[in-house]
Amino acid sequence: MRQRGTFLRHATLVGVSAIMLLPFYWVLKTAVTNENIYAYPPRLLPESPHLFNFVDVWYFIPFPRYLLNSLIVSALVVASNIVFNAMAGYALTKSFAGKRAILLLFLSCMLIPFQATIIPAYLITSKLGLLNSYLGLAFPLLSTIVCIFVFKAAFEAVPQSLVDAARIDGLSEWRVILRVLMPLSKAAIATNVVLAFIWSWNAFLWPLIITREPTMQTLPLGLARFLSYMEDTTGALYAFAVMVLAPSIFVFLMAQKEFIRGLTSGATKG
Amino acid sequence: MISRRTLLKSGAGAVAATLAAPAIAQAPKKISFLTWNIIDQEPMIRGWIARFAKDRPGVEVEWLDKKGPEIPVFYQTQLVAGTPPDIINTQGALGLEYAAQGALLDLTPRLKADAAVGSRFNADYLSNWAYEGNNYLLPFYITKTLLFYNKPMFQKAGLSGPPQSFDALIDAAQKMASGDASGFLTLNFDWLYWPLYATNGIDLLSKDLTKPTFNTPKAIEVTDRLAKATEAGAINKISWTGRWVEPNGAFAAGNVGMLHAHSPAYFFVKGQGKWVTPETLGVAHAPGGFATPNSHGLGISKASKNPDLAWDFLKFVTNEGAQELGVNRKLVTGNIAVDTKNLADLEKSDPLVYSILKTQLEHTDKMVGNWRLGNDSKIKEAFWPELQNVLLGRKDAKTALADAERKVARELKRG
Amino acid sequence: MMPAAGGAPGGSAERHNGWWQRKRTRELALVACFLLPSLVVFFLYRVLPLGWNLLLSVQYWSPLKPARWAGLDHYEEMLLYDDVFWQSLTNTLIFIGAAPFAIALALGIALLVNSDLKGAAVYRSIVFLSYPLMTVAVGIIWRWMYDERGGIINFALRESGLVAKPIPFLQSFEWALPSVIVAEVWQVLGFYMIIILTGLQSIPQHLYEAASIDGAPRWAQFWRITLPMLKPSLFLCAVVGILNSFTSFDLVYIMTNGGPGHATELLITYIYKSGFGQTKFDYAAALTVAQFILLLALTYLANRAAGGNAGSLERR
């Protein structure tokens, strides 16, 4: 019985995985060739694969500089997200006058699309004197509402008894967060890290607007320059997609052990 | 390979610039130059900037290049913030829209003062960007639509040559359509399909651009025929649903008889189509010689702090720069002297490209689809979706054109 | 709550008036401090821009021209004369309507993966892989996969004999929106999954153990324990599903640009085109306000469905 259940599980997951991976296989196949991707019939295997697309980029654009810029901005965003979001998430676990209003405010802020804020965001950043700067690139993403709620939910799931016990021991609010709540919210921290990294790493429109100096451009912007001036239908585009994707996957793989614990480790809670 | 005349002109220019140099303040004078998707020519443009700055001590040129979809969002934001690039490169009617907005400097007085500059350009193309009688942009490089055709397919269908009339075009398309193959494809953005209507004597608006004039029985008939031909497969549906990659890609696949597109399409098609050779690719004008231009122009932002320097740079780019651009990118620049020379060279080195580029300079008095509208994109948005509905069989021509007339009239009233 | 939270006991605070000593005020101050950094970011980059849009929506304005009062003209235009608005609205609602299915799918996958299944980590990574891709890249890839000539989907359909002629997925009025939605779900599935996985971590194991001892079947455990405790995560997923109707901007822009006709026009693409395409910033602002109100209403409904308070599990 157990074996049938497990087999079924695996079968389903393999099926799902195949669907999720198919586009990737296609992308990778094209990234290592230069064939006409619109040819019919489509070829299932890459023809004369090579890695030139990946290599060329080092020579055509100041890749290290753009990489550095992206890394700095993403580091800023991830660090501030963890700190600010944990703080806000914690504050939202308490009850206080105006809590509903603040919750409503946060929820509403989520519903404002970036495209509608481009001009005012630019003017504000300009007034702050942060154009063309790392802080300016990072500012709109220094805190994100989805991640605040992730922390809020994680903190609320910590048994009240643990928090009370800590307070009896005389711990300050900060210490409560650091010593009690955070260690039990590793998954929430991991989610924050992964999401904050992805959102800042992939940002294209904001860096496009906010940077005029070529040396301050981030990787997606810089790589876009590398694309053929005619609408791209060759492997270069796909190599670009893969290169921008790789670091985010790396961050996810590093953080992902926090997304699951074995059944045996449930004893740490409750 | 600069002609002596150009050399003399640039020599004189250099002397003048050098004489003027001491008068320019010692503090660095900076202008910014925004180009539209020309990053592949980075060495050339850096060369221009270097040569320009060499004769003008203390001058810096900041070069920004953005892809087409990025330019409006970038430029408009900079405009609102008050820091637009001094020189901007636009494609198609966008320049007119910015001029109507008041974002661009009126170049007419400068052209009057410097008659030699204006006369170096093809007058028809220069007037592409004349808004309310004033010039706002100079040609950077020019293109207009033409008819490419698949000679083997023509031969197989028993057609002797490219169609000379609208009826012949539909007829030929019908003859070549069978199975996967279709007879005719056109690009549809920026009014590129308009020659099909112009050749039937249909105009979008009245001469004073205040009233829609396209809701006529003739237009209904033409639209209906186009819709029927699309349904029958004579006209490839991608004409009305695709933008650039799909239509050109379809023609490159080798089973479309005719492609109605502007000259840059050739390079895309050649890149993708293994069948394209001087023997198999035919080049012709659309019936009646009508064509829609889709050129690139250079203008100066009104908010520029160094308009004189920007004007200098504009003159430089459209003269000395034009030569290199025309050769490197194999295109026509609008500068008569440069184009004449480049085409003469191309005739020997690449006859096929020569024949394509030659069409860009012929029948320039028959350019249509470029009404000098300050709200071109709004009119397009009011008209095109309705037309598309008919061509894709979702609406009948009579209702759609009536609806479009209503919408266009509304936009025109709003001004 | 026990007293003596915070650093200094009442001693050094005696110098201040009793107001400060009241715990309530201290707590309020603490909450305010903790919320401050996030609030600053949102104020600058969300609230102020929304205000800008609100103000702009009642004016006639274009860059470089002075603003004139417009009253409700733009709204009138939008609601009474603009069929593209209504189409975008419908499409946006359809787009959001796909979210519950995607979330249910993600829930199923999360449950499958959140166990001692061998290789769970691998499956998790595979499902998540699509999310970090730039949306632009996702759009380009799927546009190509849907292509009539070189696309793998049509190729597979033709080879397997299911269809005779290729289906113009992105060029057909009927297929375009579903096709875009499929691409969007493909990308966002992993995101829903990790939100749900994070939520699953917080469910105390002893609840399941107790239920098993009591003889409760697996599906009852799911309905009675798992699902209720996942409320905050599911609420978050629902809100993200609503957000996707505009964070998928690049996807729609690249795949169809709102076409054919306006079959895949979403409110966000229409807003962008009105603003930066047609320089109708004032009209785009009105559209933004309209979209905001719509999404707010949907979020409110989702909040109600999740039991209020953002679905949080109050355990007071």
- State yes or no: pLDDT of B7 exceeds 60: no
Residue B63, strand partner residues: B33
pLDDT computed for residue A166 by the predictor:
84
Q: What is the pLDDT of residues B8-47, one digit of tens each?
A: 455 554 555 444 444 444 567 899 999 998 888 889 999 9
Q: Tell me the pLDDT of chain C averaged across its residues.
A: 86
Q: Which of A114, A217, A229 to mutate to test the interface with B (most CBs of B within 10 A)?
A: A229
Q: What is the pLDDT of residues C84-126, one digit of tens each?
A: 999 999 999 999 999 999 999 999 999 888 876 778 888 888 9
Q: Which chain B residues are closer than 8 Å to C173 by Cβ? A: 392, 394
Residue A233 sits at the chain B interface (C-beta within 8 Å):
yes
Q: What is the pLDDT of residues A153-206, one digit of tens each?
A: 888 888 888 888 888 887 787 877 888 888 888 888 988 999 999 999 999 999
pLDDT computed for residue B14 by the predictor:
52
Q: Which residue has the tokens 């030659």?
A: B358
Give the percent of chain B with pLDDT over 90.
79
Q: Which chain B residues are closer than 8 Å to C168 by Cβ? A: 237, 241
What chains are in contact with A, requiring at least 3 Cβ pairs below 8 Å?
A: B, C
What value does the mean pLDDT take over residues C171-185?
93
B289 versus B39: the higher-pLDDT residue is B289
Residue B284, strand partner residues: B147
In this structure, are residues A186 and A35 in contact, taking their beta carbons and an 8 Å threshold? no
Q: Which of A109, A128, A171, A237 to mutate to test the interface with C (most CBs of C within 10 A)?
A: A109
In this structure, are residues C180 and C256 in contact, taking their beta carbons and an 8 Å threshold? yes
Determine the distance in angstroms separating the CA of C4 from the nearest CA of chain A, rounded to an integer: 7
- State yes or no: pLDDT of C242 exceeds 80: yes
Q: Tell me the pLDDT of chain B averaged across its residues.
A: 90
Q: Which residue has the tokens 């700067």?
A: A133
In this structure, are residues B318 and B293 in contact, taking their beta carbons and an 8 Å threshold? no
pLDDT computed for residue C265 by the predictor:
96
pLDDT computed for residue B23 by the predictor:
46
Spatial neighbors of C55 by CB under 8 A, at least 6 apart, are: C285
pLDDT computed for residue B21 by the predictor:
45
Residue B272 sits at the chain C interface (C-beta within 8 Å):
no
Query: What ipTM, to 2 d.p.?
Result: 0.86
Residue of C nearest to B384 (CA): C261
pLDDT computed for residue B24 by the predictor:
46
Neighbour-count burial of B216, counting CB atoms closer than 10 A to its CB (0-12 exposed, 13-18 middle, 19+ buried): middle
Q: What is the pLDDT of residues C129-162, one digit of tens each?
A: 899 988 888 888 898 889 887 788 888 888 888 8
pLDDT computed for residue C211 by the predictor:
86
Grade residue A39 by pLDDT with cuts at 50, 70 and 90. low
What chains are in contact with C, requiring at least 3 Cβ pairs below 8 Å?
A: A, B
> What DSSP element (H or E) covers B256?
strand B256-262
Q: Which residue has the tokens 């010039």?
A: B135
In this structure, are residues B183 and B286 in contact, taking their beta carbons and an 8 Å threshold? no
C254 versus B172: the higher-pLDDT residue is B172
pLDDT computed for residue C56 by the predictor:
95
- State yes or no: pLDDT of C286 exceeds 90: yes
SS3 A163: helix
Contacts by residues C298-302 (CB-CB < 8 Å, ≥ 24 positions apart): C298/C96, C298/C242, C299/A107, C299/A108, C299/A110, C299/A111, C299/C239, C299/C242, C302/C235, C302/C238, C302/C239, C302/C242
Determine the distance in angstroms separating the CA of B61 from the nearest CA of chain A, rounded to an integer: 12
pLDDT computed for residue C6 by the predictor:
42
Q: What is the pLDDT of residues B206-238, one digit of tens each?
A: 999 999 999 999 999 999 999 999 999 999 999
pLDDT computed for residue C303 by the predictor:
85
pLDDT computed for residue A267 by the predictor:
32
Per the CB < 8 Å rule, is A263 touching C6?
Answer: no
Residue of C nearest to B393 (CA): C173
Grade residue C229 by pLDDT with cuts at 50, 70 and 90. confident
Q: In what order do the strands lie in the sheet with B137-141?
A: B59-66, B29-36, B87-91, B296-300, B137-141
Residues 323-382 of B with CB under 8 A from C: 375, 377-378, 381
In this structure, are residues B86 and B304 in contact, taking their beta carbons and an 8 Å threshold? yes
Q: What is the pLDDT of residues A78-131, one digit of tens each?
A: 999 999 999 999 999 988 888 888 988 998 999 999 999 999 999 999 999 999
What value does the mean pLDDT take over residues B83-97?
94
